Amino acid sequence: MDTAAVAFDLDDTLAVTRVDRETLLAEAMRAVDAPPRSREAYLDAHADNLTERSREPVFARLLDELDTGADADALARAYRTRVNDSLEPVTGVESMLATLRKRYRLGLLTNGPVVAQRSKLRTLGWTDTFDVALVTGELSAGKPDAAAFEALLDALDADADETVFVGDDVGADVGGAVAAGIDAVQVLFPGGPAPDPAAFAHVERDDLATRLPAILDAR
């Protein structure tokens, strides 16, 4: 079946931070006088809170394990500010998205709390870039759960076999999409996951804007 809809992950697929996330987390922890926590600890807490409105429960879990009087909401604000200040589009993707939208229904499905992810879209100026932009904090489940991808297909008014999902995460993006019957394109970058054979195509992130249209044409 011809491709009718193309949907994307956000973080590390379409947008990146100029400063690495571990440094941004450390800066935010210092800003509220909290001891440092690892990026891995943050990601574990984040993965357990994909349907929350804000990052406060994520940071509450991190702070609960520390001897500190730091406030989780203040820490969430400090981290959000630093991430957004460092956030930028991957080179060329804005013009690519505008071009693709002329041919396909364009979607976004991003894991994370509503406040954080919606603020990223505002920071990037992307609130109207997609026909459908879903944040798992507004859904009953996050990626890779099938319910998240079913919500995406419903919002796009597209069948799984006429949709392509583009993302960097092997489990959440590639595995989740393929399990839902959606062809996946894996975005690769230095230090990221190795190519997953479950994806029907792979593309280096720096080449995403120039190569993805041809990948879709050849599908």
The pLDDT of residue 11 is 98
Do the Cβ atoms of 173 and 136 come closer than 8 Å? Answer: no
Do the Cβ atoms of 149 and 184 come closer than 8 Å? Answer: no
The pLDDT of residue 27 is 97
- C-alpha span between 136 and 10 (Å, rounded): 12
The size of the chain, in residues, is 219
List the chain domain ranges: 5-16+88-218, 21-86
pLDDT tens string, the chain, 219 residues long: the values are 699 999 999 999 999 999 999 999 999 999 999 988 999 999 999 998 889 888 999 989 888 878 788 899 999 999 999 999 999 999 999 999 999 999 999 999 999 999 999 999 999 999 999 999 999 999 999 999 999 999 999 999 999 999 999 999 999 999 999 999 999 999 999 999 999 999 999 999 999 999 999 999 999
The pLDDT of residue 3 is 95
- C-alpha span between 42 and 5 (Å, rounded): 33
The pLDDT of residue 65 is 75
The pLDDT of residue 1 is 65
The pLDDT of residue 138 is 96
- C-alpha span between 17 and 80 (Å, rounded): 12
The pLDDT of residue 148 is 98
CATH homologous superfamily for the domain 5-16+88-218: HAD superfamily/HAD-like (3.40.50.1000)
Q: Tell me the chain's radius of gyration from C-alpha atoms.
A: 17
